[in-house]
Structure 1
Amino acid sequence: MTSSFAVSKHNDGAGVIRLAVRGEIDDGASDALAQIIGNAAGQPGVRVLVIDLERVPFLAAAGIRALLEGRAVALHHGLAYQVVNARGVVHGVLATTGLLSLFHTTVRHVPAHR
């Protein structure tokens, strides 16, 4: 059984948009994620795009592609791009593929309830 995929957008102020992703980023969700990231990157006033993977238990190769496409779109728009809060298997996938530093991936301490 897969977990439901969803993305919520948060304006963290000062031009920072955080996309909080929930659920597995697999073949079925990857195109939607890439499109959501692209839409957020194209909004006026955005300076930093943060992809929060705190609630993502699984990241397939298609999910990596979506994150890379999102990074390319963000850079095209002149935005900073970060992937944060990758944990467990997701962190391992990003570490193994060498993408942690490319995504400026960090683990931020965020409140448990949002």
Structure 2
Amino acid sequence: MTGAFAVSKHDEGAGLIRLAVRGEIDDEVSDVLAQIIGNAAAQPGVTVVIVDLERVPFLAAAGIRALLEGRAAALQHARSYQVVNARGVVHGVLATAGLLSLFQTVVRRAPAHR
């Protein structure tokens, strides 16, 4: 791994959590990323989890798995889930894998019954 991996969590209000990822997402860090996303999704009051890949230069297959596990955790907790700002190689990897639209996951809440 050449890029220093880090994740910064930003509470943007109204239940929106943005996880800004920096560095390469490969075998060495994928489990940690999946756990961080899952922890964010499990927090009370969260309605949307956004994973921001703007500062990620490389995404390995293990990184795709981490993003998919994060999506599963978000859906398990009835949270909307988005992966945003994928650029260059990372965007190409997600496009080739057919995941760009999947990562704009929106949870539609059923109207309250009266």
TM-score, normalization by structure 2: 0.90
CA distance in 1, matches of 2:69, 2:3: 23
| Superposition pairs of residues 2-81 of structure 1, within 5 angstroms | 2-81=2-81
CA distance in 2, matches of 1:42, 1:13: 16
- For 2:38, the aligned partner's letter is G
Q: After the TM superposition, which segments of 4 or more aligned residues of structure 1 sit over 3 Å from their partners? A: none
CA distance in 2, matches of 1:43, 1:11: 11
Q: How many residues align?
A: 105
Q: Deviations over 1:46-71 (max 9, x none)?
A: 00000000000000000000000000
- For 2:16, the aligned partner's letter is V
In structure 2, runs of 5+ residues without a counterpart are 106-114
Q: Secondary structure at the match of 1:13?
A: coil
TM-score, normalization by structure 1: 0.90
**Residue 94 of structure 1 pairs with residue 80 of structure 2:** no
State which structure, 1 or 2, has the greater radius of gyration over its C-alpha atoms: 2
Aligned to 2:112: none
Identity %: 81
- Tell me the CA shift for residue 104 of structure 1: 1.4
In structure 1, runs of 5+ residues without a counterpart are 106-114
More helix by share: 1
